[in-house]
Amino acid sequence: MEYVKEIRQGVDAGYTSSNLYPSNGEGRVGKHGIDKGYTLEQVILLARSMEEKPNIIIKAGENAKWYLKRFSKENLPSEIEKQQQWRAERVARCTMYIIENN
């Protein structure tokens, strides 16, 4: 948890096209997402090992997959707003972890 800088409840950012995955496919389940059985610590380690460093981790609900994304601090508020307008009831279950990923 040392890499988690902020936790936001009820928000998501970006669309499925903004999801990132490890190049070796580790943890990937189906077309989109990371195995829901992973812990937050495992997902952080996975994100930190990737070439394209995600800075956002989304858990889309208690029994949902994890999603890795990357947005600049400047673009993040507008990406969150897009999701709130488009699918507010589904986003309410999401938890966003903003991580430091150098």
Count of alpha carbons within 13 angstroms of residue 78, beta-carbon side: 5
DSSP conformational letter for 62: T
What is the rounded CA–CA span in Å between residue 93 and residue 11?
8
Tokens of 4: 């988690």
Residue 14 zone, left/alpha/beta (φ > 0; ψ -120 to 50; rest): left
Tell me the pLDDT tens digit for each residue of 4-55: 999 999 888 887 778 999 988 899 998 889 999 999 999 999 999 999 899 9
Scanning the chain, the segments in alpha helix (DSSP H) are 40-49, 76-91
pTM for the whole structure: 0.88
